[in-house]
């Protein structure tokens, strides 16, 4: 009501303007996200969470090879990656390979944080341990 008074508009118009501004700001920070995750339900949770934040999911990769192929084709603005993948391959290796081609921020979401902390890892990168809280992912995505 105070804002409506200051803007000399009615409350409904002020709310409409605030909603429009919020949508415009969200569109400005939205990006294409690649999810590298072999567990179907976790991938679905991440996809839902990312979409609810206003981002676009360009694909879900279950293996190193799938991740590299998708990322080279789609060029995501953010990667959410597990470390241990379905075929025994490594999400960490996939990300390191991709980062030799282009720069992209990465958030590792894994039940094996020690593999991230002791291996060759990209800098900067974020680490979230599984099981994760949706708020943790929302804070960095």
For the chain, the domains span: 1-30, 31-140
What strand order describes the sheet that includes 106-110? 56-61, 32-36, 78-81, 106-110, 126-129
| pTM: predicted TM-score of the whole model, two decimal places | 0.78
Is residue 105 left, alpha or beta, with left meaning phi > 0 and alpha meaning psi from -120 to 50? beta
pLDDT (0 to 100) of residue 15: 85
pLDDT (0 to 100) of residue 18: 80
Distance, in Å, from the CA atom of 113 to the CA atom of 54, rounded to the nearest integer, reads 28
Q: Report whether 100 contacts 68 (CB < 8 A).
A: no
- The topology under which CATH files domain 31-140 is Rossmann fold (3.40.50)
pLDDT (0 to 100) of residue 109: 94
Name the 3-class secondary structure at 97. Answer: helix
Segment (H or E) for 106:
strand 106-110
Per residue in 35-91, pLDDT tens?
A: 999 999 999 999 999 998 889 999 999 999 999 999 999 999 999 999 999 899 999
pLDDT (0 to 100) of residue 14: 81
For residue 74, what are the contacts with CB-CB under 8 A and spacing of at least 6? 32, 34, 58, 59
Q: Looking at the predicted structure, is the pLDDT value of residue 116 above 80?
A: no
What rounded mean pLDDT belongs to the chain? 87
**Better-scored residue on pLDDT, 131 or 4:** 131
| Residue whose tokens read 């429009």 | 20
């Amino acid at each position: 009501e105070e804002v409506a008074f200051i803007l000399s508009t009615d409350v409904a118009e002020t709310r409409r303007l605030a909603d429009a501004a919020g949508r415009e700001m969200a569109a400005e920070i939205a990006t294409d996200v690649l999810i590298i995750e072999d567990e179907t339900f976790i991938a679905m949770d991440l996809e839902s969470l990312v979409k609810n934040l206003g981002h676009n999911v360009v694909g879900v990769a279950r293996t190193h090879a799938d991740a590299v192929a998708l990322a080279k084709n789609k060029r995501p603005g953010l990667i959410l990656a597990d470390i241990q993948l379905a075929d025994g391959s490594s999400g960490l290796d996939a990300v390191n390979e991709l980062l030799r081609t282009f720069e992209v921020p990465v958030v590792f979401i894994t039940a094996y944080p020690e593999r991230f902390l002791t291996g060759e890892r990209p800098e900067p990168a974020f680490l979230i341990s599984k099981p994760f809280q949706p708020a943790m992912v929302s804070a960095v995505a």
